[in-house]
Amino acid sequence: MSKISIIIVNYNTKNILKDCLENLKEAKEEFKEDLEIIVVDNSSSDGSADLVKENYQDVLLIESENNGLAAAHNLALTRASGAYFLFMGTDAFPLKEDLITLVTYMGKNLDVGLVTPKLVLRDGSLDMDAHRGLPTPWASFTYFTKLNRLFPKSKLFNSYFLGYKDFSKPHEIDLCISHFMFVRAKAQQDVGLWDEEFFVYGEDVDFCYRMKSLGWKIIYLPEVEVLHLKGVSIGTRKESRDLTTASDETKDRMRKETTRAMKLFYEKHMAQKYPSFINFLVLKGIDSLRVIRRL
């Protein structure tokens, strides 16, 4: 079976990181030398690096300055040797059977560059950020005005989450979040490095956009179901407030980064596709959202 490089970026989530690595032990026993685990610790102050050093000698630990998620991914790629790269948050918990299914699927579908599973939150609901459409001005408008909630199955009003797709069957999507991306090494090579202009947020949107632009397919595979403790590392999600140890400083920076990433992605990939008055409205909308989120 082909080798998998699991790439985990950690920042001050020591307890969740421990649970994450414990969960991967069965997969490691199954794949043996065909699975390597790489943890990039972004200058955590909670003893995360010491935890890995003392308890997980079979894990490759890379200690780094906190230059963001994309930079950490790129750092891990300099050491990864797999035929597949699994970019995974410390808050994702796949089973060994899930990895077997993903490798098998990739082996049968050579035009697929990235697969993401059905990410499930603690309450059993679907993490919709794992099933996204391209954030065009219209799609984003319907999302932020909540029109997508009024018409969840509509292609016109819910293209943001592709609500019109059949969620029970595998199908192509536009993008997903980097908390669980199973990427073919050849596709990664074609796409190139992650864009380090994105500190956190947006790096996954940019990565998927570039992959699709090169002709690779991105597939949502619902037969693989993975628990996602969403928001543990950033501390701003209500569903993980009882688990997070994120500082107020971290939470504040995360709020700022959400809108900075939106603006960066739009100016990089979308602005040239639309007339100036649309660009003006979009960028003003992002500026307004930044103020609202800080408040």
pLDDT over 70 at 28, yes or no: yes
Q: What is the pLDDT of residue 251?
A: 79
Q: What is the pLDDT of residue 235?
A: 59
pLDDT over 80 at 188, yes or no: yes
> Which stretch of DSSP H or E encloses residue 114?
strand 112-120
Under the banding of pLDDT at 50, 70 and 90, the label for residue 236 is low
Under the banding of pLDDT at 50, 70 and 90, the label for residue 213 is very high
pLDDT over 90 at 237, yes or no: no
> Which amino acid is located at 108 in the chain?
K
Q: Which fold has domain 4-131+167-234?
A: Spore Coat Polysaccharide Biosynthesis Protein SpsA; Chain A (3.90.550)
Going from N- to C-terminal start, the domains of the chain cover 4-131+167-234, 247-295
Q: Are 206 and 268 in contact (CB under 8 A)?
A: yes
pLDDT > 70 fraction of the chain, expressed in percent and rounded: 96
pLDDT over 90 at 50, yes or no: yes
- Quote the Cα angle for 70-9-233, to 5°: 100
pLDDT > 90 fraction of the chain, expressed in percent and rounded: 88
Return the minimum-mean-pLDDT range out of 149-158, 164-173, 238-247: 238-247
Structure tokens at 272: 């040239």
Q: What is the pLDDT of residue 247?
A: 80
Q: What is the pLDDT of residue 1?
A: 60
pLDDT, mean over the chain: 94
Residue 144: CA count within 13 A, CB half-sphere: 17
Q: Rounded mean pLDDT of 191-195?
A: 98
Distance CA(64)–CA(60), nearest Å, equals: 13
Under the banding of pLDDT at 50, 70 and 90, the label for residue 163 is very high
Name every residue whose Cβ is closer than 8 Å to that of residue 43 and which is 6 or more positions away in sequence: 11, 63, 64, 65, 66
H helices present in 79-136, as ranges: 96-108
Q: What is the pLDDT of residue 242?
A: 65
Q: Rounded mean pLDDT of 19-38?
A: 97
> Locate tokens 């037969």: which residue?
223
Q: What is the pLDDT of residue 238?
A: 65
- State phi, psi for 154 to the nearest 5 degrees: -85, 130
Distance CA(49)–CA(40), nearest Å, equals: 9
Each residue of 91-112: pLDDT tens digit? 999 999 999 999 999 999 999 9
Helices (H) and strands (E) in the chain, counts: 11, 9
pLDDT over 70 at 170, yes or no: yes
Q: Rounded mean pLDDT of 261-278?
A: 97
Distance CA(282)–CA(290), nearest Å, equals: 12
**Residue with the larger pLDDT of the pair 249 and 204:** 204
Each residue of 140-157: pLDDT tens digit? 999 999 999 999 999 999
Under the banding of pLDDT at 50, 70 and 90, the label for residue 174 is very high
